[in-house]
Amino acid sequence: MNAEQTVESAAALLDKHSARARRLDQVSERDSGIPLSHRVFEAWKNMRASTRALLDERPSEARLLFFVLLSDVIFFLARTLSLVVAPSGATQAFLPLEIGLWLILVFVLRTASLYVFSGLVCFAGRGLGSTATWRETRTAVFWASLVAAPVGVLGALIGSGLGRLSTTFPVFREDVFVITPLILGPVAFVWFLSAGVAEAHGSKRTSPVFIAFSILAFMLAIGTVVFAARL
């Protein structure tokens, strides 16, 4: 399978899962009729207000799953762009296999992990005196995953562009230019997640939640690096 066939296969998979996400959105029992793009823009301006409006609508489980699946599609698109547009030599040799692995990771493990993560956040919040339910926590977490997903695509595009330019301008091979685009998506997710969870759990301030999630993300990143180094 060559690179062109790989891109076509990835596009077909994106179309398939996008169609599934749209069908889930259509069976939602409570849809305010506000365009999703407008909701996302509003969330970028004020995530807490956007989350509160969504919580007040009490979205159905189908609609929450739609948020997750659509964020999965966008996340997969961002990763595919990074692999296809500016692949390294090693990556190019195993491009179809790596895209296939990312497909499984995104649409199976990522979706399941967001459900589990929401439960853990709800449990921790209850331990700190919150009265938010798992459903309310799920709403905040799933909505944050969708709101932050386009930032990951932006980071992938910037990283791919810098990767192309690095052949002419070696300075773009420096770690700061390689790492910064990669962390745009995760940083955006932590911020939107913090604001959404803070609103769902009735916290007056977002900063303590953001600090807690930032520490957790840092620990996970360190753990991942250590684990990878031992392989």
Q: What whole-number distance in Å separates Cα of residue 182 and Cα of residue 180?
A: 5
- Which tokens go with 172? 């773009």
More confident residue, 55 or 165: 55
Residue 30 pLDDT > 50: no
Residue 150 pLDDT > 50: yes
**Strands (DSSP E) found in the chain:** none
pLDDT given for residue 42 in this prediction: 93
- Which tokens go with 198? 């803070």
Confidence of residue 230 (pLDDT cuts 50, 70, 90): low
Q: What whole-number distance in Å separates Cα of residue 57 and Cα of residue 157?
A: 34
Half-sphere exposure of 202 (CA within 13 A, CB side): 9
Residue 85 pLDDT > 50: yes
Cβ within 8 Å of residue 169, ≥6 positions away? none
Confidence of residue 19 (pLDDT cuts 50, 70, 90): low
Please say whether the beta carbons of 81 and 155 come within 8 A. no
- Calculate the average pLDDT of the chain: 80
Cβ within 8 Å of residue 27, ≥6 positions away? 60, 62
Q: What whole-number distance in Å separates Cα of residue 181 and Cα of residue 158?
A: 6
Buried b (16+ CB within 10 A) or exposed e, 28-54: beebeeeeeeebbeebeeebbebbebb
Please say whether the beta carbons of 114 and 134 come within 8 A. no
pLDDT given for residue 17 in this prediction: 55
pLDDT given for residue 126 in this prediction: 92
Q: How far is CA 75 from the centre of its chain?
A: 6
| Domain boundaries defined on the chain | 3-230
